[in-house]
Chains A and B, each alone.
Chain A
Amino acid sequence: MIEVSDLEKTYNSGAVATQVLKGVSFRIEAGEYVAIMGTSGTGKSTLMNIIGCLDKLTSGRYSLNGTEVGELDDNALSHLRNHEIGFVFQQFHLLSRASALKNVMLPLIYSDEYPEDAEERATKMLESVGLADRVTYRPSELSGGQQQRVAIARALVTRPSLILADEPTGNLDRRSGLEVLAIFRQLNREGHTIIMVTHDEAVAEHADRIIQLKEGRVASDRAVPEPRDPEKEIVSLKEEAQ
């Protein structure tokens, strides 16, 4: 469903041109759980922005569910982001003045057809990430982990084909991070495609496959023989604490 080939991205700032991606190729099938890994400056954020239809590629090809993204205009990209992609950000990016429910409903505002049961749907999403009793809370009244779970509910509300998470555990303590990863594992079991960008190997090993970037190129692309189990780690974390 996702296919990138010879993907290049060059940033021009003034007279200096910086090539961040220097020919990246891979293919991710529907239902996969992939981590894109790399230290900072390897172009993983750029790659994620391009996959997320937030940024345009310089050359090469990117097709999402058969759509050639490189040829789309701004409106079509917005449409694609709304319908095909659910974003989870490191800083959560919730609207601070809106309730958890309103935050989850936000993407629906921009969908072609606003569902009549928008509120119900958003409530269900919050229930599915374990926040049934936090529907009316504002982000400031929620913990980091809870905020990230609101963000996940928001990512799911438009029923996208792809969930794109950028360092989703980066701002969370270990326990909350593991809870988020447990939700991802559960979503993947339910058939969601997940791409997670991270610099942290321990986080990446929760995915089934790791694409390692190095200096704008794919350094390795390997399956994880035995992905980590977040549930188990949560249990052992609890034991440690006792």
Chain B
Amino acid sequence: MRISRIVSEGVQSLGANKLRTFFMMAGTIVGIAALTVIMAMGKGTEKSVMKRVNNFGIRSIMVTAGGGKGMSPPEEGITTLRLEDLEAIRNQVSGIEVISPGVMKRGASIKAGASQTQATVFAVEPEWYDAWDWYVQSGDPISAEDTSTMARTCNLGTTLSRTLFGGASPIGEYIQIENTRFLVKGVLESKGTSPMGTDFDYRVLIPLTTGMRRLLNQDHISYIRVKVKDPKDLTGIGEEIRKILHERHHITPPQEDDFSIVTAADVAKAARGISGTLSILLIALAALSLIVGGIVLMNILLISVSERVKEIGLRRALGATQSDIFRQFLAESLVITLLGMLIGCALGWGASMLVGMFIKAPIVISWEPFALAVVFSLMVGLFFGIQPARRAARLKPIEALR
């Protein structure tokens, strides 16, 4: 085909002047490499954000006793968060799938036979399992009957179970929590450790009523866990809950809250930190280097057109039409940017791997930067190639041959 012959002429002329070709490619290489790294890092960050959010619960809101910002654990001295608050929220807020209260006691002494340790005790209702998407791996969960009868039953986390009973099954065995005997009904699924190093599996679940009446003798709760139906409502429901609690606790801002509300959306925002802003900045830099590279490309192409006036004139004399010349020069520009893109992608890919290895930043390598690079480099090649190609095509053969 004529067009393939024309393109091949362009490619041959690029191959004939390798240094010039390299300079024309440089901007695209840098821009695309930067873009690839940024996207790999961006996706890596997003992945770790999603992991944090998943750990927290995608549709979850935590209302904890005690003020303060962020995701601090409940303050044990705060007594204002109560089951009545939970009832009010349950009755007044729509869009909630599960709502579950909890009382938390850190550093409770736990004994089983000769083994002794300290662990966190969570006094919960049967909805706890659904609210946390966390179920027993063996045995039975805390039941409604357990809470209504203030039963002395419990579930163990896996690592705590191992500490107390070694490899043996704890189900049917008894443990002592602060000198009260509890029957182990089940073992929870393992959740591993948090990024901060907290072991999620070093815990005991007991019925809420048992915890509040028998163990701690308190009327307040430590937290309320809410699971909404639609993650889009997270922020809205969070605000509704805040309003209800303000009213019930007689708080008027700027008076400080005696509770804190953290939604999955807040977790995501905190986990992203400045990485969003940073990656916008870096993308702007990459775009800038593509544009600068494009301008350099255009300049060298323009110089090359004036250097090759005689060649263009000759080709015209031998029968090349204006569009043949136009296509040849545009092909040169596009081939350069596409080649630069391939090199840039490879470089960026390698750089991403290095970054991932040495600074332990989360890196995800995917096809998207490649697709984006194709689009960007074609745009640069077209945009900055058209003007030189047009100038070449418009040369008059007799003037060019002179």
Q: Do A and B bind each other?
A: yes
Point out residues on A near B: beta carbons under 8 Å: 49, 52, 54-55, 74-75, 78-79, 81-83, 87, 89, 93, 95, 97-98, 106-107, 109-112, 114, 154, 158
- Verify B318–A54 contact, CB threshold 8 A: no
B6 cross-chain contacts in A, Cβ below 8 A: 109
Q: Which residue of B lies closest to A49 (CB)?
A: B398
Report which of A54, A83, A110 forms a contact with B315, defined as CB distance below 8 A.
Answer: A110
- Verify B401–A54 contact, CB threshold 8 A: yes
A78 cross-chain contacts in B, Cβ below 8 A: 316, 319-322, 324
- Verify A110–B398 contact, CB threshold 8 A: no
B397 cross-chain contacts in A, Cβ below 8 A: 54
- Verify B401–A81 contact, CB threshold 8 A: no
The minimal Cβ–Cβ distance linking A144 to chain B, given in whole angstroms, is 17
- Verify B322–A82 contact, CB threshold 8 A: no
A158 cross-chain contacts in B, Cβ below 8 A: 319
B320 cross-chain contacts in A, Cβ below 8 A: 78, 109-110
- Cα–Cα, bound, A55→B399 (Å): 10
Q: Which residue of B lies closest to A75 (CB)?
A: B321
- Cα–Cα, bound, A52→B317 (Å): 8
B5 cross-chain contacts in A, Cβ below 8 A: 109, 114
Q: Which residue of B lies closest to A154 (CB)?
A: B318
- Cα–Cα, bound, A52→B397 (Å): 11
Q: Which residue of B lies closest to A164 (CB)?
A: B317
- Verify A93–B310 contact, CB threshold 8 A: yes
- Cα–Cα, bound, A55→B9 (Å): 25
The minimal Cβ–Cβ distance linking A10 to chain B, given in whole angstroms, is 15
A93 cross-chain contacts in B, Cβ below 8 A: 310, 313-314, 317, 401
B322 cross-chain contacts in A, Cβ below 8 A: 74-75, 78
A111 cross-chain contacts in B, Cβ below 8 A: 319
Interface size class of B (residues with CB under 8 A): 20 to 34
B313 cross-chain contacts in A, Cβ below 8 A: 93
Q: Which residue of A lies closest to B16 (CB)?
A: A97
Chain B contact residues, majority secondary structure: helix
- Cα–Cα, bound, A89→B321 (Å): 20
A110 cross-chain contacts in B, Cβ below 8 A: 2, 315, 318-321, 324
- Cα–Cα, bound, A106→B323 (Å): 16
The minimal Cβ–Cβ distance linking B308 to chain A, given in whole angstroms, is 10
- Verify B314–A95 contact, CB threshold 8 A: yes
Task: List the 4 closest pairs (A to B, CB-CB), nearest first.
Answer: A82-B319, A110-B319, A97-B16, A107-B318
Report which of A74, A87, A114 forms a contact with B318, defined as CB distance below 8 A.
Answer: A87
A54 cross-chain contacts in B, Cβ below 8 A: 316-317, 397-398, 401
9 A-B pairs within 8 Å (CB atoms) are namely A52-B317, A54-B316, A87-B318, A97-B13, A106-B318, A107-B318, A110-B319, A111-B319, A114-B2
- Cα–Cα, bound, A55→B16 (Å): 31
A81 cross-chain contacts in B, Cβ below 8 A: 316-319
Given contacts A87-B317, A93-B401, 20 further A-B contacts (CB under 8 A): A52-B317, A54-B397, A74-B322, A75-B321, A78-B316, A78-B321, A78-B322, A82-B319, A87-B318, A93-B314, A97-B13, A97-B16, A106-B315, A106-B318, A107-B319, A110-B315, A110-B318, A110-B319, A110-B321, A114-B5
A114 cross-chain contacts in B, Cβ below 8 A: 2, 5
- Cα–Cα, bound, A83→B320 (Å): 11
The minimal Cβ–Cβ distance linking B25 to chain A, given in whole angstroms, is 19
- Cα–Cα, bound, A98→B16 (Å): 9
Cβ contacts B338-372/A at 8 Å (1 or 0 each): 00000000000000000000000000000000000
The minimal Cβ–Cβ distance linking B14 to chain A, given in whole angstroms, is 11
Cβ contacts B385-398/A at 8 Å (1 or 0 each): 00000000000011
The minimal Cβ–Cβ distance linking B120 to chain A, given in whole angstroms, is 78
The minimal Cβ–Cβ distance linking A29 to chain B, given in whole angstroms, is 24
Q: Which residue of B lies closest to A81 (CB)?
A: B319
Residues of chain B from 264 to 321 with CB closer than 8 A to chain A in the complex: 310-311, 313-321
The minimal Cβ–Cβ distance linking B27 to chain A, given in whole angstroms, is 25
Q: Which residue of A lies closest to B317 (CB)?
A: A87
The minimal Cβ–Cβ distance linking B142 to chain A, given in whole angstroms, is 83
B310 cross-chain contacts in A, Cβ below 8 A: 93
- Cα–Cα, bound, A50→B125 (Å): 99
- Verify A74–B321 contact, CB threshold 8 A: yes
Q: Which residue of B lies closest to A87 (CB)?
A: B317
A49 cross-chain contacts in B, Cβ below 8 A: 398
B17 cross-chain contacts in A, Cβ below 8 A: 97
- Name the residue in B13, B313, B315, B319 with the highest tally of chain A Cβ atoms < 10 Å from its Cβ: B319
The minimal Cβ–Cβ distance linking A139 to chain B, given in whole angstroms, is 12
Q: Which residue of B lies closest to A107 (CB)?
A: B318
B315 cross-chain contacts in A, Cβ below 8 A: 106, 110
The minimal Cβ–Cβ distance linking B324 to chain A, given in whole angstroms, is 6
Given contacts A54-B398, A97-B16, contact A82 B318 (CB under 8 A): yes
- Cα–Cα, bound, A130→B12 (Å): 27
Q: Which residue of B lies closest to A151 (CB)?
A: B314
Residues of chain B from 1 to 42 with CB closer than 8 A to chain A in the complex: 2, 5-6, 9, 12-13, 16-17
- Cα–Cα, bound, A52→B398 (Å): 10
Report which of B9, B16, B311, B316 forms a contact with A109, defined as CB distance below 8 A.
Answer: B9
B316 cross-chain contacts in A, Cβ below 8 A: 54, 78, 81
- Cα–Cα, bound, A154→B318 (Å): 9
- Verify B317–A55 contact, CB threshold 8 A: no
The minimal Cβ–Cβ distance linking A141 to chain B, given in whole angstroms, is 15
The minimal Cβ–Cβ distance linking B171 to chain A, given in whole angstroms, is 83
- Cα–Cα, bound, A106→B315 (Å): 8
The minimal Cβ–Cβ distance linking B312 to chain A, given in whole angstroms, is 11
- Cα–Cα, bound, A237→B365 (Å): 75
- Cα–Cα, bound, A54→B17 (Å): 29
- Cα–Cα, bound, A55→B318 (Å): 14
- Name the residue in B5, B317, B323 with the highest tally of chain A Cβ atoms < 10 Å from its Cβ: B317
